[in-house]
Amino acid sequence: MGRGAQQDQRGGATPATGKLRGVGGAEAEEQEKQWVLIDNVEYDVTNFMRRHPGGSVIRYGLANTGADATEMYKAFHLRSKKANLILKSLPKREPQCKIQPGQSISEDSEEGKINRAFVEFEEQLKADGFFQTSKTHAFMRAAELVVLFVLGLYAFSQGYTVTAVLLHGLFGGRCGWLQHEAGHGSLVDSVWLGHRIQHVLIGFGLGTSGHLWRVMHNKHHSATQKVGHDLDIDTAPVVSFFKTAVEKSKFRTPMLPMWARVQAFTFLPLTSGVFVMWFWLGLLHPRHVLRNGLWEEGLYMLSSHIVRTLLVQQCTGWSLLSSYMIGYWASMWVSGMYLFGHFSLSHTHKDVVERDVHKSWLRYALEHTVDIDPGFWPVDWIMGYLNCQVIHHLWPQMPQFHQPEVSRRLTQFCETHGLEYEKVSYLTAWKMTLGNLHEVGRHYAQNGGIDKTLKVD
């Protein structure tokens, strides 16, 4: 059975909502406020949530729902002085919300002991330099992109069209890996500069918006494999990664049985390469840029379509239409398969977490992601270091070239504390991912695309 088909309800009880019925006046108003718990202090974010630069992901860490946001906050704001200043300016109080067990370092339990050990482990990694960026590494990664793009143009000019499309598809995918790291703040020390680099790379390389990527991707990091939270698995009925995906999706739209039956085979060439790329480049990202006035990003995205098409035309002598459809869109098709296929390997086949369950930052990473051949350089390269997904989810602002060594240290940490740290081979990861898609697809093909008898909240 594909593990993504399972429902995981471990690690949490029914959460407190932060609202009391039957109270009035100031007490009722107080209960309507939204709080986040960080380092055993509750901060009032009621009026700040709409202004949060990271978007609505802040809702995933509300103490009102039973979450302790301490490790989430630290993971995302390691290099941000501005975030700490904003936090200090918010109204605060002593903890009052009911937090689900297993998350806090102050908890007097075995989980609390493990969480405290994890914080000590993290501090040792910082002391040993594993959060230090490297200008040399950043330069080499950027130089690789230039080489791939120029080689692609040369291949176009020599008539090697398939080779050229593959090279430019690889260029787009490699832009995806590097923009991802820049967007997280692990490529360079400056958050501002990292975001500028990201906007150029994802804009020109993939025709999309770095800002929207961060807003969406941080939700995946904050609640990996969580129903209704992780956008990476909130994809039904286009593709379903677990056996209640359709029933628990927002619209409950049934899958077409025939489409469900073949979803493992269509996932790369159609779902990833065509549907996602067309939707992202044609609607989702341009709409976000226009709605939010992100004109700098819009310029980079526009240059992706225009400049790349004109360069291909100059190299081949083709018409503008042929240059655009073959030189640009065929390459984007390759990029989409390369990126989204590899993104899925590390978690989509794992157990899902129910909407109302909160876990510790450590448990989320260890129980709902896997690492794939960490330290095996061909896999490190082809996956842009995102084969170390457990490490990356624990410390998204750790420069990713450090991750293979940290994986060895995490292995020792987990052995010491009786924790499971799952590492699989590259081939096994593909088998697990596609096998899970096949099993879930067969499930929906057999029940007509939706289980109408299943009652969901």
Q: What is the pLDDT of residue 457?
A: 63
* CA atoms in the 13 A half-sphere facing the CB of 296: 9
Alpha-carbon distance of 111 to 101, in angstroms, equals 8
Task: Specify which residues 36 forms β-bridges with.
Answer: 43, 62
Average pLDDT rounded to a whole number, residues 16-28: 44
Per-residue pLDDT, 19:
42
Contact 12, 100 (CB under 8 A): yes
Q: Average pLDDT, stretch 98-109?
A: 91
Question: What pLDDT was estimated at residue 81?
Answer: 86
CB 64 within 8 A of CB 42: no
For the chain, give the mean pLDDT: 92
Q: Six-digit token pair at 325?
A: 């459809």
For the ranges 11-20, 220-229, 235-244, 254-263, the lowest mean pLDDT is seen at 11-20
How confident is the model over 205-252, as pLDDT tens digits? Answer: 999 999 999 999 999 999 999 999 999 999 999 999 999 999 999 888
Structure confidence at residue 1 (pLDDT): 40
User: Which domains are seen in the chain, by residue range?
Assistant: 1-16+110-457 (no CATH), 20-98 (3.10.120.10)
| 14 pLDDT tier (thresholds 50, 70, 90) | very low
Token output for 398: 């750790």
Token code pair at residue 148: 């791939």
Q: Which whole number is the average pLDDT over 401-421?
A: 97
Q: Give long-range contacts, CB 8 A cutoff, 24+ apart: 300-303.
A: 300/199, 300/200, 300/202, 300/203, 300/204, 301/203, 301/207, 301/208, 301/209, 303/203, 303/204
pLDDT band at 361; cut points 50, 70, 90: very high
By CB neighbour count within 10 A (0-12 exposed, 13-18 middle, 19+ buried), where does 51 fall? exposed
